[in-house]
Structure 1
Amino acid sequence: MSHTAHIRSHRKPRRSASNIAMRAGVAGGVLGTLAVTGASGTANAAEPVTQTLELPTLTADLAAQVAQSADVTQQAAANYELQAERDAAAARAAKEAKADLAEAKKKAEEERKRAEEAARKAAAERAERAARAAERTTLSASVEVSSGSGSSGSGSASAGASVSTSTATGSAAAVVSFVRAQVGDAYVSGGTGPNSWDCSGLVQAAFRQVGIDLPRVSQAQSTAGTQVSLDSLQPGDILYWGGAGSAYHVGVYVGDGMFVGAQNPSTGVALKSLSYDPPSGAVRVL
C-alpha cells in the first residue's frame, strides 16, 4: 500500500459498475452501428447503379423552328439545282452560238467565192464578145476590100453562098445529130454537159460520140484537123472564130449554111446562119 493511500484526497476514484456498464453499452452500440453500416455498404457496392436521363420535352415552338429549318434547307437545294440548270442552259446556248457563227462564216465564204467566180465568168464572156466583135469588124473590112478589087475571094465573103449542102452521112451525121439535139441547152463557161455547155465542150462531146477525142479548148480544136475553105464546107466540119491556133470560139457546121454552137449566156446552144456570125476558118476531122 502506498504511503499516501490512507489520505482520501490521494486515492484514485473507483469506477462504479453503472459507469462501466454504460460505457460498455455505448461501445457495443457503436460497433453494432459500424457492422450494419459495413454490411449495407457491401450490399450497395454489389448492386449496379442505374442513372436515368430525362430528354427535353419537344415544345410547339421548337417543332416550328425545326420545320422552318427544313423548309430553308429544301429551298436552298432547289435554288442550287435551278442555278445548275441555268448554267447548263447557258453553256449549251454558247456552244450553239459558236457553231452557228462558224456555219455563217462558212456560208459567207462560199457566197464570196461564188460571187467571185460569177464575176470572173462574166468578165470572160464580155472579153469574148468584145473579141468576136473586133474580129467581125476586121473580117467585114477584108470583105469590103476584096469586093472593091473585084476579087471573088475564098474566105468569109463567099461563106454561106457556095458552101456544100450535101446531107451528112456516117460519123458526120452522128456529130450533126448530137449538136442539133443540144439546141436550147444553157451556155455555161467551162460546161461539158449534159445540159449546159461552152463552145469547145459541146464540140468535144459531139466528136466523142464517134470515137474521136478532140482537145478541150477552142484554140487547139482549130488546128485539130485539115484546114478547109469556107466555100467548100461539109456537115460535121469544125468552124472557128479567130486565128488558127488562137481561136476564141468554135462550132459545128450542119449543112445548108447553118451551124450549131454554144454561143453565149443569152442564146445558149443555138442553130444559126453563117451570116449571123461569119467564121474565120474551118477544119475537117472526119
Structure 2
Amino acid sequence: MSHTAHIPSHRKPRQRASKSALRAGVAGGVLSTIAVAGAAGPAQAEPVTQTIEMPTITSGFSTAVAASAQATQQVALDLETQADEDAAAEKAAKTAKKAHAEAVRKAEAKKKAEAAAKAKAEAEAKERAERASRTSERTTLSASSGSSDSGSSASAPSSSSSNVSGSAASIVAFAKAQVGDAYVSGGTGPNAWDCSGLVQAAYRTAGIDLPRVSQSQSTFGTQVSLDNLQPGDILYWGGAGSAYHVAIYVGGGEFVGAQNSSTGTVQRSLDYDRPTGAVRVL
C-alpha cells in the first residue's frame, strides 16, 4: 500500500478551490459592474405603484357618434338638394320670362303683319277702283274723240275745265285721268308712264300722233308764251329741241305730268316747277 493511500485525493480540493475562485471572481466582477453603474447612472426613480384605468368606449357612445355623423351627412344632403332646387327654380323662371318675351314679340309681329296686310288690301282695292274709273273715262274719251274729228264740238268731261272743248278737252281729260299712276322710264301706259309717253298718249285720244321723245315734242307745234297758255298746250323744261321733260297744261295755272318715280303722275301748279317754254299743237 502506498503511503498516501489514507490521504484523500488531492485533485478534488483543487477543483473546489478552483470553483470557489471562479465564483469569487464572477461575484466580484458583478459587484464591480453594479458599483460602476451605480456611480455613473442617475438615481433610480421610485417604481410606479398606481394603475391608471383608461376609459372604456361603451356601445351607447358609439351609437351617439354614428347618429351624429349620419345627421351631419343628412344636413349636407339636404343643403345640396335645396341648392339644386333653387338653381332649377331660377332656370325655370328665366325660361318662362324668355318664353313670355318671345310670345309678346310674336304677338306684336303678328299684329303688325295683319295691319300691313289690311292696309295693303285696302290700297289694292282702292287702286282697282281707280283703275276701273280711269278705264271708264278713257272709253268715254275715245268715243267722244270721233265726233271731235268730224268737226262737231264735244262737251268736256266733268274732270276738265268748263271752258275747254273739242280735242283740247279730250287731251286734258285723259291727262287728268292718269293722275296717281306710276312713273316708269320708257312707260307708255296704261298704268305707268314717263313724261313724253303720257303726252303722246293724251294727244292720241284727239287723233294726233306726236313724236315719242320730249326733245322732238318741244318743237312739234308753235312756240307760245307762258303768259298766253291754253289747255292742251305742251309744256317743256330745258331748251326747245333739247328738252328733258314735258307735261300738259290743263288750265287754271296747272299742269299734269309724269314727274318721277317718287311722285308718279301728278297735277301741280306751274309754280311747283316753272317750265321753260310751251308749244301749241291744236
TM-score category (smaller protein): 0.3 to 0.5
The structure with higher relative contact order (CA 8 Å, sep 6+) is 1
What is the TM-score normalised by the length of structure 1? 0.42
What is the TM-score normalised by the length of structure 2? 0.43
